[in-house]
Amino acid sequence: MRDRSGKKSCARILAFLWVLSLAFVRSSHAQSDVFTKWVTSPYGSLLTMVADSQNNTYAAGSVCTGSGGSCSDIEAVTIKVNPQGQTAWRFFLSSPLQNAKGVDVAVDAAGNVYTLYESQTGNGPTFGQQIFEIATAKYSSTGTREWINFIPSSSSVFLTPSHLAVAPSGDVYIAYTAAQATSGNSSAIVLKYDTNGKELWSKTAAPVPNIVNSPTAIGLDSSENAYVLVNSGTASHTEESVIVKFDPAGDVLASFGQNVLGDIPVLHIDQEGNSYVSGSGGATNDVPIAAKFTSSGATAWVHNLSEAVQPVELPAGITTSPTGQVFIAQTSSDPVSNNGFDIAVLSLDANGNELWLGRYSHPDRSGQDMAAAIAVNSTGEAYVTGYAVLPSGTTDAATVKFESTGNLAWAELYAPSGETGTGEAIAAAGPNLFVLAGVANPQTGTGGGVIIDYIQDAAEVSPTSLTFGDQLESTQSSPKSFTLTNTAEVPLTQISFEVSGDFQLINNCPSSLAVGASCTVGVAFTPTETGTRTGTVIVHDDWAGSINNPQTIKLTGTGVS
């Protein structure tokens, strides 16, 4: 039995805590580049995904639950997948009209998960028009639903959810459209809940230049100011975009970007509150651009993308590295073929100057390779997912890595046999790279979502921290140990260890490990003075991922006299 929020009996929920499809696939690339650790099909058609610092992934979307394989009942779903590719838990949300989906998902610093849903509750006066209510839910890391809140449409105002952003503390900001049923005029609304689900405020994003407004993206800075990107149009479809900045109390601090920004689909907010966008310029500058605005809303720079990138679609994403380097994922005209498209990344420095342009095209340059999402690691390496058109006309999900210099490091294609694949979302977490891809069978019309874990370092350590407790100064403790495992399908070689602090290796591993092999390493603690002492063991090997994101064991102990 389901209630209004899609809650099922405990037995029904537990019955779904199983892994559907877990496949280990060998990469076609060199050992030192990348390999596919696992591919899992956790359930349903997944639209959005995030990863946490523990390499858990969370995805949201929808699933067909009608009998006999029909799609008469579409329920929303949120899924957690653990670092081994196993489904940890699922939650469902039903709709009075059997049509619901998860549209965005986020995670806070404690590992709690938040999902923004839409659920159809009626039909509008216009043919095909659907009326939705908005739901926002919080789940604990272990799979307990903490709360769920609903915002219904009325007979005169129709609501559509857009995106959510979550602060490390668990405060939740959702952005949605409120459209007048009769006039079609609409407003962009931002609503804030605290981590316990209490509504703190709800505000209209204003001032805006036009009468038809909808939120395109939302982001937070380190002070928890909220920035919402609003697409502002007219009845004749003239499009402008503005960014409205709210403080944590819901007061508008600034509205900026008008006359500079046209159709802008992507927004990134850095920790200092700088805003980065890309898309088309304003009405007087209708060319593809990227732009940066300061935290006060002043225009820092505008970069014309026409000459370097030659985009054929609006950008797929924009982000920055910790040093302020800017990365824009774009679908670009192929400079070699007459009508082909490339997956491209343009990198700019903090002042908007071009650093490099990286491109990927399927080797036969047979068609339209498209970018969909971008992620950047701490060292300025860029990852893009999308799809590549093959000579047969089918598509594979394409995931590519560009080095910090813009050189193409590797490209991976994925699609099950006889099916098509398209990359939808991407998240970088140390040496792990998670990709959400949609797959479909052209013959049957069926499909769903898969999550892929690409690994750039085959080494895996467990546990990742050792605590020694109190130890007499200048005396050596009993050893504690960790295990190093080769998770790849080729030998792990050039193994070495780097230890720091008042800690010593008691024994070592061999310089290479066979496929699937493990070794145990002992560590002892000899404090050189009293008080808390810390250190690390860093594992080096022959994988490229070991250079920038080596496996690390954190060490702590206390010296006493």
C-alpha distances out from residue 109 to 25, 52, 211, 484, Å:
32, 8, 38, 27
The neighbour count for residue 243, using CB atoms within 10 Å, is 26
Task: Identify the bridge partners of residue 496 per DSSP, sorted by sequence position.
Answer: 540
DSSP tag of 545:
H
User: For 110, which DSSP code?
Assistant: T
Q: Chain centroid to CA 208: how far?
A: 29
Residue 468 CA: distances (Å) to CA of 168, 472, 508, 526: 30, 11, 19, 10
- Reference 538, options 551, 548, 549, 525; nearest CA is 551
What pLDDT is attached to residue 234?
80
In this structure, what is the dihedral angle of CA atoms 470, 475, 479, 485, given to the nearest 10 degrees? 100
Q: What is the CA radius of gyration of the chain?
A: 25
pLDDT at 13: 31
Written as one string, the DSSP assignment of 120-167 is: EEEE-SSTT-EEEEEEEEEE-TTS-EEEEEEE---SSEEEEEEEEEE-
CB 200 within 8 A of CB 192: yes
Q: What is the pLDDT along the chain (561 residues), one digit of tens a residue?
A: 233 344 333 333 323 333 333 333 333 333 347 888 899 988 889 999 999 988 999 999 999 886 655 677 899 999 999 999 999 999 999 999 999 999 999 999 999 999 999 999 988 877 678 899 999 999 999 999 999 999 999 989 999 999 999 999 999 999 999 999 888 899 999 999 999 999 999 999 999 999 999 999 999 999 999 999 999 988 666 689 999 999 999 999 999 999 899 999 999 999 999 999 999 987 656 789 999 999 999 999 999 988 777 777 889 999 999 999 999 999 988 887 767 889 999 999 999 999 999 999 888 766 689 999 999 988 899 999 999 988 888 899 999 999 999 999 899 999 998 899 999 999 998 778 999 999 998 887 778 999 999 988 788 899 999 999 999 999 999 999 999 999 877 788 999 999 999 999 998 899 999 988 999 999 999 999 999 999 999 999 988 777 777 889 999 999 999
Sole residue written with tokens 């690994």: 455
User: Which pLDDT belongs to residue 388?
Assistant: 92
CATH entry, 459-560, from 3.30.420.40, 2.60.40.10, 3.30.70.100, 3.40.50.300 = 2.60.40.10
Look up residue 252 and give its two tokens. Answer: 């508008």
**Nearest partner of 432 among 52, 18, 168, judged by Cα:** 52
Dist. CA 314–CA 278, nearest whole Å:
8
- Tell me if 376 sits within 8 A of 358, measured CB to CB: no
Determine the Cα–Cα distance for residues 248 and 472; give it in Å rounded to an integer. 49
The CA distances from residue 280 to 187, 240, 291, 315, 345, in Å, are 22, 9, 10, 9, 17
Q: Say how far apart CA 9 and CA 13 lie, in whole Å.
A: 6
Predicted local distance difference test score (pLDDT) of residue 447: 83
Backbone angles phi, psi at 545, to 5 degrees: -65, -20
Tell me the domain boundaries of the chain: 459-560
Quote the pLDDT of residue 368: 81
Q: What is the pLDDT of residue 393?
A: 81
Helix (H) or strand (E) holding 547: helix 545-548
As given in the structure block, the two tokens for residue 181 are 């049923």
How far is it, in rounded angstroms, from Cα 41 to Cα 80? 12
Q: Which two tokens stand for residue 288?
A: 């593809």
